[in-house]
């Protein structure tokens, strides 16, 4: 009888141990599955946010990157289509087809209010220096996203954050009509009538300039001709400096022109104004620090429904 009692107690203990093990295993498995679900939800939010952000930048035909202390912009001007309309329709597509029951995507103003994606201002800002890369609007002829002009501005307080501006312009429908780029041209690329200097071009001594702008501007055209702007430093002052780039259209029409302005302080850095000219641009703003980020004036929010996982950041 004693032996039977011992066996019964042993069986009970074994069952209790097995029950506890099963409960612990189930709890751990539930915890593991929950962790995996959280991880997958987080990855889905990150992917959706990046995917939509990249589509927005492709819609604007503008690629932006930050490499160390350099803010780089790869752009095409003017816009081939109405960018604002495209962004508006893309926002509708996101809400109607792209969103899934477990992912919620919203476009927000910097104040957190819902907005139409087509209302994003045509301004890209380097923060916290508040240096702006943007397209000015001249209604009613066209909106800013028509991208007929390119401006880079900075306040006087933050202007010294810019160490150098490296800009490349490649013209796709006009050619450089000046020497030495075009040996057969009748005028020089920086000859009489093409340049209106500022107070000084730093007098070849940028250390004495009040507001020195260090620049490196190169031009090229569809014929393979190229020219590098001779000035490497512009002292920004009122009324600023202007370079009317000699270009020509194969038709012989004179209704094509390019003007690059340097200054005025405050707040202008460089302006590129175009008339009927198509150009691909590459612009690098070299700053004195890598502590900055690049932002549109709109927020993109992606949230995993049912999880405390979301990302809201400027695009």
Residue 105 lies in a domain: yes
Number of domains observed in the structure of the chain: 1
DSSP annotation string for the chain: -HHHHHHHHHHHHHHHHHHHHHHHHHHHHHHHHHHHHHHHHHHHHHHHHHHHHHHHHHHTTEEEEEETTEEEEEEEES-SS-HHHHHHHHHHHIIIII-BTTEEEEEE-TTS-B--GGG--SEEEEETTTEEEE---BTTTB-GGG--EEEEE--HHHHTTEEEEEEEEEESS-EE-SBTTSTT-SSBTTSTTTEE--SBSGGG-GGG-SSEEEEEEEEEETTS-EEE-S-SEEE--TT-EEEEE-EE-TT--S--EEEEEE--TTTEEEEEEEES--EEEEEEEEES-S--EEEESSEEEEEETTTTEEEEEE-
Residue 71 lies in a domain: yes
pLDDT in 10s for each residue of the chain, 315 residues? 555 555 666 665 665 556 555 655 455 555 544 556 566 656 766 777 788 888 887 778 888 899 999 999 999 999 888 888 888 888 888 888 887 787 788 888 877 788 888 888 889 999 999 999 999 876 555 678 889 899 999 877 788 899 899 999 999 999 999 999 999 999 999 988 898 765 567 766 666 667 778 889 999 999 999 999 998 887 776 567 889 999 999 999 999 999 998 876 556 788 999 999 999 999 999 999 999 988 876 777 777 776 676 667 667
pLDDT in the model for residue 238: 59
Q: What pLDDT, in 10s, does the model give residues 62-84?
A: 888 999 999 999 999 998 888 88
> 125 and 297 in contact (C-beta within 8 Å)?
yes
Residue 32 lies in a domain: no
Contacts 24+ apart (CB under 8 A), 92-99: 94/52, 98/48, 98/52
> 304 and 103 in contact (C-beta within 8 Å)?
yes
Residue 33 lies in a domain: no
pLDDT in the model for residue 32: 46
Question: Strand pairing partners for 195?
Answer: 243
Residue 16 lies in a domain: no
Distance, CA of 224 to CA of 203 (rounded, Å):
32
Phi and psi angles of residue 97, each rounded to the nearest 5 degrees, phi first: -120, -35
Q: Which residue, among 170, 178, 182, 194, has the nearest Cα to 278 in the 3D structure?
A: 170
Distance, CA of 279 to CA of 220 (rounded, Å):
10
Residue 23 lies in a domain: no
pLDDT in the model for residue 4: 59
Question: Strand pairing partners for 103?
Answer: 100, 304
User: Tokens in use for 44?
Assistant: 């889905």
Domain that includes residue 237, residue range: 41-314
Distance, CA of 157 to CA of 139 (rounded, Å):
30
Length of the chain (residues): 315
Residue 3 lies in a domain: no
Residue 164 lies in a domain: yes
Whole-angstrom CA distances from 308 to 39, 147, 239, 295, 315 are 12, 40, 54, 25, 22
């Amino acid at each position: 009888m004693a032996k039977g009692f011992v066996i019964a107690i042993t069986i009970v203990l074994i069952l209790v141990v097995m029950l506890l093990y099963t409960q612990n295993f189930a709890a751990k498995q539930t915890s593991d599955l929950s962790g995996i679900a959280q991880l997958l939800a987080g990855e889905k939010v990150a992917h959706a946010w990046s995917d939509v952000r990249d589509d927005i930048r492709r819609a604007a035909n503008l690629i932006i990157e930050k490499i160390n202390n350099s803010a780089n912009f790869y752009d095409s001007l003017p816009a081939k289509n109405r960018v604002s309309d495209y962004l508006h329709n893309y926002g509708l597509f996101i809400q109607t087809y792209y969103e899934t029951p477990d992912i919620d995507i919203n476009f927000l103003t910097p104040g957190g209010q819902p907005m139409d994606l087509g209302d994003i201002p045509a301004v890209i800002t380097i923060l916290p220096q508040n240096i702006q890369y943007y397209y000015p609007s001249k209604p009613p002829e066209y909106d800013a996203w028509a991208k007929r002009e390119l401006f880079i501005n900075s306040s006087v307080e933050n202007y010294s954050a810019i160490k150098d501006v490296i800009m490349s312009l490649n013209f796709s429908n006009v050619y450089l009509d000046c020497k030495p780029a075009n040996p057969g041209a009748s005028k020089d690329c920086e000859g009489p009538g093409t340049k209106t200097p500022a107070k000084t071009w730093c007098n070849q001594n940028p250390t004495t300039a009040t507001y020195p702008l260090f620049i490196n501007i190169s031009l090229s055209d569809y014929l393979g001709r190229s020219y590098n702007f001779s000035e490497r430093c512009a002292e920004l002052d009122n009324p600023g400096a202007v370079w009317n780039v000699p270009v020509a259209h194969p038709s012989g029409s004179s209704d094509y022109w390019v003007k690059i302005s340097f200054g005025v302080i405050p707040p202008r850095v460089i302006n590129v104004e175009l008339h009927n000219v198509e150009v691909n641009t590459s612009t690098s703003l070299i700053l004195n620090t890598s502590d900055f980020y690049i932002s549109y004036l709109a927020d993109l929010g992606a949230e995993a429904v049912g999880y405390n996982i979301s990302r809201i950041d400027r695009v």
